[in-house]
Amino acid sequence: MPPTLPSRKSNGSGSTPTNNTAAVRTRRHQEDFIPVPASTSDDGALKQVEGVLESMVDLLTEGVALVIPYRARTPRNVQDTSQRSGPTQIYCQALMFPSRSDQELKRFEALFRLLEIIHEALLSGNILTKRNIFYQNLDLFSSQAMVDDMIDNLAYTLGVGRDDLNIVATAKGLLAGPIELKTRDNVIIQCSGANDSGTLLPAINSVAAVNFHSVKWLLVIEKEATFRTLVAAEYHLKAKAGQGILITAKGFPDLATRRFLHVLQAIRPTMPFYGLVDFDPHGISIFRTFKIGSRRLEHEDAATVPALQWLGIRSEDVQSYLHSETAQSLTPPSSQNSENQASQASTAYLFEGLDDAIELPPRKKVKTQQPQNLSGSIVPLTASDRKRAVNMMKEIECLLTAGATHDVKTAKAQLEQLQKMLMLNIKAEIQAVDNFGDITDWLDRKLCLQASM
C-alpha cells in the first residue's frame, strides 16, 4: 500500500496556514492606514444654507424684499499672497430683491442659484468643481472668476470652508511618494510615482485613510519643473535622509493642496514638513501662504501647515556656490541701463564681504560645468520685487510686535533674509543651486542636517 500523504492541518476555521498568513498580512496592511477624520462642518454648512433659504421663504410670505446675507470682500487680485496682518475689507453686506440696480439683480440671481446648487450637493453628498458650476450656468455667471469670488465670499459669510460646501477647485497639485491613499469608496491610490508626472492630488474630502509606510519627511516644492526632476531621479525613494513625499502646487498655493497638506500634518504630526521655494519675495510669500494662510481666505482654518519648516533657498545657499569667478557672470549686457550695472557690481562686492558673516554648510567638491546663462537664475530685484519685499517685512514686523505668530524663529529668519535680499539687490531661483551641481546632493545635506538637529 502506498504511503499516505500527510494532510494540511486546519486552523479551526477551515483555512490553510498559507491562506491564514495572507489574511494576517492583509489585516496588518489595513491597520497601517491612518484614518482621515471626516469633516464635522458638513452638517453645520447644511444648516447654514437651509437657514438662509428658509429665511427667504419667510420674507416671501410676509411680502417684503428678499435679502441674502453676502459679505463680499475686495475683489481678488490675480494672486493674493498677503498674509493675515490686517482687517479684511468688506464692500457689501447683503443682496436684495427687488434690487437697487441691474448689476445687483444679476448677482442676486446668481447667488440664489448657487445656494440651490450647494444645497443639492450637501444633501446628496456629491462633490462639485467650480469649473462645472460655471459651465453649467453660463447664463448666470459672466466668468469663472465671478463663480470663484461668489463661492469664496459665500463660504466667508456662512463662516465655513469652501470644501465644507462640497465645492472644490479642479485638481492642480501633484504628489509623489511611497504612500497609499484610500478613498471613501475603498479605492487604493498608489503614489509612488511610476514616472516624472506624479499623482494628481485628490480632494481631501474624498480620502478616508493614508498609509505612510516608511516615509520620514515631506517636501513642498514651489516649481513643478523641480518636482518633476526629483521624481524622475526617484529622489523620494533614494534620499539619504530616508524615503519621503514630494508635493507641488505648481507655483501659487491653491486651496486644495493647502488643505491636503493640513490634513497630512494633522494625522502625522511627528513627521517633518519642509518647504523649498525661490529666494525672492514671491517665493517667501508662497511659503508663508502654505504655513499661515492668506488674508483673503482667512476663514479657511483647515488650510494652513503651521509646522512647515523653511528648507531654502536662502542667501547663504546662493553664496556657497557664487565664488569670485562666477560672480563675474553677473555683469549685465551693455544694453542694460547703468542702474542695473551698478547694482550688480555692488552685488559681487557684497557677496565677498559676507564670507565672514555667514557660516557656510559643508559641501562636496564635485566637478561641474559652468552654467551657460547664470543671469537666468540669479538676477537683480525689480522695483516691484523691492516693494513686495518691503511690504512683507512690514507684515512680519506687525505680526512679531503683536505676538500673532507661533513660529517666531522662522519669522525672524525670513525678516533677516528679506533684509539681505534688499541689501544685495538680487533674487535667485531654485535652479541657481541646480546650475552648480546636482540638486539631490544639496537636498541630501539639508535634509540630513535637519534630521540631526
Residue positions annotated with a catalytic role = 135
Torsion, Cα 189 195 200 202, to 10 degrees, reads: 10
d(C-alpha 197, C-alpha 164), whole Å: 29
- Give CA 299 to chain center in angstroms: 16
Region class of 375: left (phi > 0), else alpha (psi between -120 and 50), else beta? alpha
Cβ–Cβ < 8 Å for 344, 380: yes
CB neighbours of 115 closer than 8 A, spacing ≥ 6?
49, 52, 53, 68, 154
Q: Where are the alpha helices (DSSP H) in 363-430?
A: 383-402, 408-424
Helix-helix angle 281-292:408-424, to 10 degrees: 170
User: 164: which DSSP letter?
Assistant: G
Cβ–Cβ < 8 Å for 207, 183: yes
Cβ–Cβ < 8 Å for 154, 70: yes
d(C-alpha 285, C-alpha 391), whole Å: 11
